[in-house]
Copies of this chain bind each other. A is one copy, B any other.
Amino acid sequence: MYSKVIEASKRLAGAAHKTPVFSSRLLNEHAGNEIYLKCENFQRMGAFKFRGAYNALSNLTPEAKAKGVVTYSSGNHAQAIALAGKLLKVATTVIVPNDAPAVKLKAAQGYGASIVLYDRETVAREDIAKQMIADHGYTLIPPFDHEDVIAGQGTAAMELLDEVGSLDYLFVQCGGGGLLSGCAAYTKNALPQCQVYGVEPDTADDATKSFKTGTLHTAHNPPTIADGLRTPALGKLTFPLIRQYVDDMITVSDDEILSTMYYLWTRLKIVVEPSGAVSLAPLFHRKLPLQGKRVGVILSGGNVDVRLAGELFANISD
């Protein structure tokens, strides 16, 4: 996977943003560590997902490109496929749960994707995708369990290490594990002494359980505010990569996620979605005994309906 991440970075050059790395004296004092925030909320379409989607679509055969692709997604991957398809002139269809944030749906439509809505309580998205592949010859680009997707996501860690040099720790959020496995595989090869942590919402801790037991656990529509991390389970590819390259997993509560997010909005003045703040939450709340370490953190995205800020932050004190 290490060499595939390096290949992906070449494909992404000029297409994906080399997102900035932010640091903050205030945040470092608060957290007691030297924190480097890789701001994937500034990535094209607002999340790291563009990396994997663009890498996967670039790598298709001309025949597959001509027929088009289909995917399912809770939101950001849908937008990413839609935008990558627009840029690479590949027709895209995205299968989206009908409770996905409106802001994410609209963006995918804006990039020219066809949208198919489904009810996640009653239908499996995989079944809808299979039918469309049989009918139209589409190629499926799943949201995380795909080598080119994983490799693309890993370029976020590659860029971070290239910019800040050595790190003692890297914290990455985990849903289906595409971002975590790509970043971990790259980092443990490039910088073996760096400890890589995966972070999950505590109500969606299937990956943490899977990681610790070695047996795949699933979570059915976990009720976390971090809508990007509601995936039911790790994938066939991401699970073994995470077992191999991740050093530990940790969980955080929705309150911890939201207060971390509030700090990013109000003190760092950046819009980060709940899933995007998950990776910083254990550091912001000092849930681990780290002091004075150089810590990389992936802020994975910023696609959230900002009009909901009043509700989201209702219980956070300044």
Residues in B with CB closer than 8 Å to A42 are 268-269
Nearest CB to that of A312 among chain B residues?
B307
* Measured CA separation A302–B41 after assembly (Å): 17
Contact between chains at A310 and B308 (CB < 8 Å): yes
The answer, among B46, B269, B313, for a CB contact under 8 Å with A307, is: B313
Answer whether residue A215 sits at the interface, using C-beta atoms and an 8 A cutoff: no
Contact between chains at B306 and A266 (CB < 8 Å): yes
The answer, among B103, B268, B318, for a CB contact under 8 Å with A266, is: B103
Given contacts A306-B309, A307-B309, A313-B306, is CB(A269)–CB(B46) below 8 Å? yes
Q: By DSSP majority rule, is chain A's interface helix, strand, loop, or mixed?
A: helix
Contact between chains at A106 and B318 (CB < 8 Å): yes
**Chain A 252-285 near chain B by CB (<8 Å), digits 1 or 0:** 0000000000100110111110000000000000
Contact between chains at A302 and B20 (CB < 8 Å): no
Contact between chains at A310 and B313 (CB < 8 Å): no
Residues in B with CB closer than 8 Å to A20 are 20
Copies in the complex: 2
Please report which residues of chain A, range 14-69, place their CB below 8 angstroms from some CB of chain B when the two chains form the complex.
Answer: 20, 41-42, 46
Given contacts A269-B46, A269-B271, is CB(A103)–CB(B306) below 8 Å? no
Residues in B with CB closer than 8 Å to A103 are 266, 318
* Measured CA separation A46–B311 after assembly (Å): 23
Please report which residues of chain A, range 294-318, place their CB below 8 angstroms from some CB of chain B when the two chains form the complex.
Answer: 302, 306-311, 313-314, 318
Q: Chain B's nearest CB lies how many Å from the CB of A2?
A: 30
* Measured CA separation A268–B272 after assembly (Å): 11
Residues in B with CB closer than 8 Å to A309 are 306-310
Q: Report 11 cross-chain contacts, Cβ distance below 8 Å, ordered by A residue.
A: A46-B269, A103-B318, A262-B306, A269-B271, A269-B272, A271-B271, A306-B306, A306-B309, A307-B309, A307-B314, A309-B310
Q: Chain B's nearest CB lies how many Å from the CB of A284?
A: 17
Nearest CB to that of A273 among chain B residues?
B269
* Measured CA separation A307–B307 after assembly (Å): 8
* Measured CA separation A142–B262 after assembly (Å): 32
Nearest CB to that of A106 among chain B residues?
B318
Contact between chains at B306 and A307 (CB < 8 Å): no
Q: Chain B's nearest CB lies how many Å from the CB of A16?
A: 12
- Which 9 pairs across A and B sit closest by C-beta, in order of nearness? A269-B302, A269-B271, A309-B309, A307-B310, A41-B269, A310-B310, A306-B309, A265-B306, A307-B313
Residues in B with CB closer than 8 Å to A269 are 41-42, 46, 270-272, 302
Q: Chain B's nearest CB lies how many Å from the CB of A268?
A: 8
Residues in B with CB closer than 8 Å to A310 are 307-311
